[in-house]
């Protein structure tokens, strides 16, 4: 991964793009993110203050209503007729029925002035008044209910939530109940209860029309919801965020962002300033409603960012196309030049800026390099010509001298007619060797040169040389580098079969291999080539040293010429073993006329 990152940033283009994005895009994104966060915080804070003010006003109105309701209930409690009816807590059935009629009549007359859904008065022992309890639709077992017992045991007002399944009404009722006593003796007389319906609570806990989705809740001291402005959806259930309930218990008012059922709300609360101080009014506002304007701004910002990015990409493309891409193209051309490929189209640009100057400078440099390479090539060709002249002179004078000595010896000592044949063969050999000064001959003429040389050697030594030719006739007229076979045959005669002409033999075979080259193999069954001679073939000795070391001169000359003209892949391949003979393989490319002419030109 580190290597990949290093390669990625090694490019000038990639660094320019990265720096451009880093300088232009990153600050813009950071500013946009900072502005978005601060906008959300500002709107949330503003809404928190607004919601808190609204809840404080709702609390004030609701507490005023409760105080007024309490005064109205106190007026009813202070009624002398009610006090007289509630003195006797037991009696005969007739008296109990009379009690029910009188109390119901009183309540019918006085309760319409009380701002509540329903007002009820309960004896402390409701089981002793079955007729009354049945008339008002309550069970005689009311005394066993928790809210009744709590109200009976304390002088403080209590609250009780009756859900539809617990009463005969199809909506929840929030009951305000308290125990009352005699006016003068302070003895408990009964319990009065006022039911507040949804319509009553809606007066004080209705959400504002400015915020869609807002809901107001009334929570009791246990964190249970006693009222829900949105159709009593959560009424009678625990508040769905226990963390927020704990947050409410820590203070008298505050706000916090909470997540309920996958939605984020801004929750604000205030506690009631009454005897039930643990009751709280809660406002829940969906956060997306508060940030609706911000979302619109964000959409515009995203569109602007997309346009901005497109413009930035256009600038990057412009910079890449006009600056970094030409430089990258120039780098690729220079890499080709590094691989000695100087024949590619020279880099050129008509631009008048720094990129154009760079292109023209590299082009001029390449032209100078090409001139130097051509000069070095001419020097190398001249060197090859001189080396070839030296190599040729290493062979011809020595051989010519020996041959002429043999002719002289035969002329002086024998005076035989075969001298003329020997001289004729020598002339033919010299003619074929010189080849009118051309380096390329044909395989046929090269084989004729070998045959002339063998004829002279047989006449000179007076022994028959056993030599066989196995050549593909289709190859005889193909171009062939001169003076390749004769030095090798000379080496085989002089150093291999000369010691045993009766058994010694030489085989020359020429064929075409699958790779398209001409393969010539010269085999003899003589003594083999010494290892020091083979080692000397691979050593680059000085010319003077080569001229003095006559052993292996033919092998060395042929090997050097093959490498000079065709490369290292075409050097001699020799297999030899002392006492078992030698096989020399010559790989010669099949040349076309233009290739042969190119070699002649060199």
More confident residue, 243 or 95: 243
More confident residue, 270 or 553: 270
- Each domain of the chain, given as residue ranges in start order, spans 78-200, 205-293, 376-601
Give 289's pLDDT tier (boundaries 50, 70, 90).
Answer: low
Q: Are strands 280-286 and 215-219 parallel, antiparallel or unpaired?
A: antiparallel
Give 252's pLDDT tier (boundaries 50, 70, 90).
Answer: confident
Given a cut of 60, whether residue 509 has pLDDT beyond it is: yes
Given a cut of 80, whether residue 294 has pLDDT beyond it is: no
% of the chain residues with pLDDT over 90:
8
Report the half-sphere exposure of 535 (CA within 13 A, side-chain side): 3
- 560 touches 572 (CB < 8 A): no
Contacts 24+ apart (CB under 8 A), 239-248: 239/282, 241/267, 245/219, 248/219, 248/223, 248/280, 248/282
CATH, range 205-293: 3.30.450.20
**pLDDT for res 543:** 40
Q: Looking at domain 78-200, does it have CATH number 3.30.450.20?
A: yes
The angle at the Cα of 62, spanning 56 to 64, to the nearest 5 degrees, equals: 105
Query: If you average pLDDT over every residue of the chain, what do you get?
Result: 77
Q: What is the DSSP letter of 291?
A: T
**pLDDT for res 121:** 92
Nearest to 274 by CA among 192, 421, 176, 371: 176
% of the chain residues with pLDDT over 70:
71
- Indicate the pTM of the whole model: 0.48
**pLDDT for res 6:** 47
Q: Report the 10 Å Cβ neighbour count for 464.
A: 10
Lowest mean pLDDT among 15-24, 190-199, 508-517: 15-24
**pLDDT for res 92:** 65
**pLDDT for res 551:** 47
State residue 268 phi and psi, 5-degree precision. Answer: -125, 140
Q: Do domains 78-200 and 205-293 have the same CATH topology?
A: yes
State residue 600 phi and psi, 5-degree precision. Answer: -60, -40
Q: Bridge partners of 470?
A: 509
**pLDDT for res 429:** 63
pLDDT digits (tens, 9 = 90+) for 526-582: 888 888 877 777 665 544 344 334 445 678 888 888 888 888 888 899 988 887 889
Three-class DSSP labels, 174-186: EEEEEEEECCCCC
DSSP string, 83-137: HHHTT-----HHHHHHHHHHHHHHHHHHGGGSSSSEEEEEESSGGG-HHHHHHTT
Coil/strand/helix, residue 540? coil
More confident residue, 311 or 484: 484
Q: State which H helix or E strand residue 503 sits in.
A: none
More confident residue, 525 or 10: 525
CATH architecture of 376-601: 2-Layer Sandwich (3.30)
pLDDT digits (tens, 9 = 90+) for 415-462: 655 665 666 666 656 655 555 557 788 999 889 888 888 888 887 787
**pLDDT for res 344:** 56
């Amino acid at each position: 991964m580190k290597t990949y990152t290093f390669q990625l940033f090694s490019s000038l283009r990639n660094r320019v793009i990265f720096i451009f994005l880093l300088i232009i895009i990153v600050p813009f994104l950071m500013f946009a993110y900072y502005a978005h966060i601060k906008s959300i915080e500002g709107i949330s804070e503003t809404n928190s203050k607004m919601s808190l003010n609204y809840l404080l006003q709702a609390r004030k109105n609701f507490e005023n209503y409760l105080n007024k309701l309490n005064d109205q209930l106190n007026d009813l409690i202070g009624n002398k007729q009610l006090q007289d009816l509630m003195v006797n807590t037991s009696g005969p059935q007739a008296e109990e029925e009379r009690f029910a009629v009188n109390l119901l009549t009183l309540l019918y007359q006085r309760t319409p002035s009380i701002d509540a859904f329903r007002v009820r008065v309960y004896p402390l022992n409701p089981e002793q008044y079955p007729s009354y309890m049945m008339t008002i639709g309550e069970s005689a077992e009311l005394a066993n209910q928790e809210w009744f017992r709590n109200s009976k045991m304390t002088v403080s007002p209590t609250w009780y939530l009756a859900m539809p399944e617990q009463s005969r009404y199809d909506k929840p009722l929030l009951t305000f109940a308290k125990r009352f006593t005699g006016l003068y003796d302070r003895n408990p007389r009964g319990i009065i209860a006022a039911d507040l319906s949804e319509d009553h609570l809606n007066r004080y806990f209705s959400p504002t029309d400015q915020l869609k989705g807002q809901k107001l809740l009334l929570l009791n001291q246990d964190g249970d919801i006693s009222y829900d402005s949105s159709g009593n959806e959560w009424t009678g259930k625990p508040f769905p965020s226990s963390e927020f309930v704990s947050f409410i218990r820590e203070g008298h008012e505050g706000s916090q962002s909470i997540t309920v059922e996958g939605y984020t709300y801004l929750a604000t609360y205030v506690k009631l300033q009454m005897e039930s101080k643990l009751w709280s009014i809660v406002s829940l506002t969906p956060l997306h409603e508060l940030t609706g304007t911000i979302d619109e701004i964000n959409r515009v910002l995203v569109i602007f960012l997309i346009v901005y990015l497109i413009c930035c990409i256009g600038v990057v493309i412009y910079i890449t196309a006009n600056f970094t891409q030409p430089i990258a193209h120039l780098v690729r051309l220079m890499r080709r030049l590094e691989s000695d490929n100087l024949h590619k189209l020279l880099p050129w640009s008509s631009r008048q800026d720094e990129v154009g100057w760079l292109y023209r400078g590299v082009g001029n440099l390449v032209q100078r390099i090409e001139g130097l390479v051509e000069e070095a090539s001419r020097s190398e060709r001249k060197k090859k010509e001189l080396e070839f002249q030296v190599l040729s002179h290493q062979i011809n004078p020595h051989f010519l001298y020996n041959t002429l000595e043999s002719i002289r010896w035969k002329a002086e000592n024998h005076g035989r007619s075969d001298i003329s044949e020997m001289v004729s063969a020598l002339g033919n050999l010299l003619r074929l060797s010189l080849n009118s000064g051309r380096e390329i001959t044909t395989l046929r003429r090269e084989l004729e040169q070998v045959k002339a040389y063998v004829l002279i050697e047989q006449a000179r030594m007076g022994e028959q040389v056993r030599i066989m030719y196995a050549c593909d006739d289709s190859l005889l007229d193909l171009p062939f580098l001169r003076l390749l076979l004769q030095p090798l045959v000379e080496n085989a005669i002089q150093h291999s079969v000369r010691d045993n002409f009766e058994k010694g033999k030489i085989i020359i075979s020429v064929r075409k291999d699958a790779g398209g080259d001409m393969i010539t193999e010269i085999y003899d069954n003589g003594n083999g080539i010494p290892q020091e001679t083979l080692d000397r073939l691979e050593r680059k000795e000085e010319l003077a040293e080569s001229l003095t070391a006559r052993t292996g001169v033919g092998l060395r000359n042929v090997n050097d010429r093959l490498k000079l003209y065709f490369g290292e892949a075409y050097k001699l391949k020799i297999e030899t073993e002392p006492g078992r003979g030698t096989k020399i393989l010559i790989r010669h490319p099949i040349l076309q006329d233009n290739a042969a002419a190119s070699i002649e030109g060199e």
